[in-house]
Amino acid sequence: MGAFCMGMTALKLKKIVLGTLLALAVAGTAGWFSLDKETRGLLKTFPTNRDLLFWNEAQRDAAFRALDRISLLAKWNTAQPSATPRALPAGQPLQLGVDVDAYMQEHRLAALLIVQGGKLRLERYGLGFDGDGRWTSFSVAKSFTSTLVGAALKDGLIKSMDDKVSDYLPDMKGSAYDDVSLRQLLTMTSGVQWNEDYGDPQSDVARFNNHKPEPGVDALVSYMRRLPRAAPAGTRWHYSTGETNLIGLVLAAAIQKPLAQYLQEKIWQPAGMEQQATWLLSKTGKEISGCCVQAAPRDYARLGQFILEGAQVNGQSILPDGWLQQATHKQADIGQPGRGYGYQWWTYDSGSFAARGIFGQGIFIDPARQLVIVSNADWLKAGSASNPSFAAREDFYQAVQKAVDDEAPGR
């Protein structure tokens, strides 16, 4: 229950020969200065540990803005931006009753944007980052993946939310996932056993990426089809990054193209994104759908605004009628009062909803107040409900909501 959105650590990075990196870094003074500042920063603090959870603060600060700069670290696919980016017009500065600079410094935020009423009312940067760079999303990508599933439904490439996993992945036949529906995958209610404990080297999330698959079988499928059933499908919510990665394989099988290409076609270009996005790939060459989209802060804000406005392009939603309402409202009880889980979105009984990542990445959307809050960060500790930074972010959301309410006529 305490493992919120820890998708990135499922990516076990390759061992890299130090000499290769040094050769790249010192290929010559001209070559070094031809690299962008994010790549230079990554090379200066390059992590030697293969598990991101054990990187130090400086290594994470450098890597989170540059995971898509060196293909030896990870490979990626790219979604190209729109030729006509959507404007984010400046609005009146929002009068908050909190010290924003102190909040950002204490909780190590790299970017904080507030869009309200379609206007950018706050934009701040920290950790030496700026709006021209890309910051990794971690499990915020789960909500991207969910939206693309909805688009595939609208396109007729996925027939029904009640389709079974094995309808799209025949190698899952005979496994515990044989009777699991896409709806149950999206709501993390499959009932299949999974251990998401990142402190346990024997947990599923620690082992599955190193699993040696049978010949001709996708590595993730090979691992996931061995898992036993822990509860009847649809009866228990249990957080599993492996299942979101499985959703990505289902989606890829349905659309017959890379997820980054589908993201470009359905969202990134039609919604008017200004900069390219990248999506990191697993060792089998497919997008890690539970994690790892890199994008510019303003484009995260545009994505939030796109969802807030009903995921519409030219007045028509890319999603089936009523689907987004279901996706962003409680479909599963997570055991926290006032909270729930939709289709890869964290929900609030108030009607707000959010995408969340392990070290403070987030997109918070409040339809009642026409509000989008974007956070990029490198928290000192990985996020969970017991993390002080997690609680502070919730308090900040409430402070922003109060500031908007205080502007209402008659207040």
* Domains and their CATH numbers in the chain: 9-76 (no CATH), 78-406 (3.40.710.10)
CB 79 within 8 A of CB 268: yes
CB 369 within 8 A of CB 404: yes
Helix (H, G, I), strand (E, B) or coil at 22: helix
In tens digits, the chain (411 residues) has pLDDT values of: 333 333 444 444 444 444 444 445 444 444 544 566 666 666 666 665 556 667 888 989 999 999 998 887 789 999 999 999 999 999 999 999 999 999 999 999 999 999 999 999 999 999 999 999 999 999 999 999 999 999 999 999 999 999 999 999 999 999 999 999 999 999 999 999 999 876 677 888 778 777 888 888 998 999 999 999 999 999 999 999 999 999 999 999 999 999 999 999 999 999 999 999 999 998 889 999 999 999 999 999 999 999 999 999 999 999 999 999 999 999 999 999 999 999 999 999 999 999 999 899 999 999 999 999 999 999 988 767 778 899 999 999 999 999 999 998 765
**Amino acid identity for residue 128 in this structure:** G
What is the full DSSP assignment across 278-313? EEEB-TTSSB-TTS-EEE-HHHHHHHHHHHHTTSEE
Which of 108, 151, 106 is CA-nearest to residue 128? 108
Q: pTM for the full model?
A: 0.91
| Contact partners, residue 256, CB within 8 Å, separation at least 6 | none
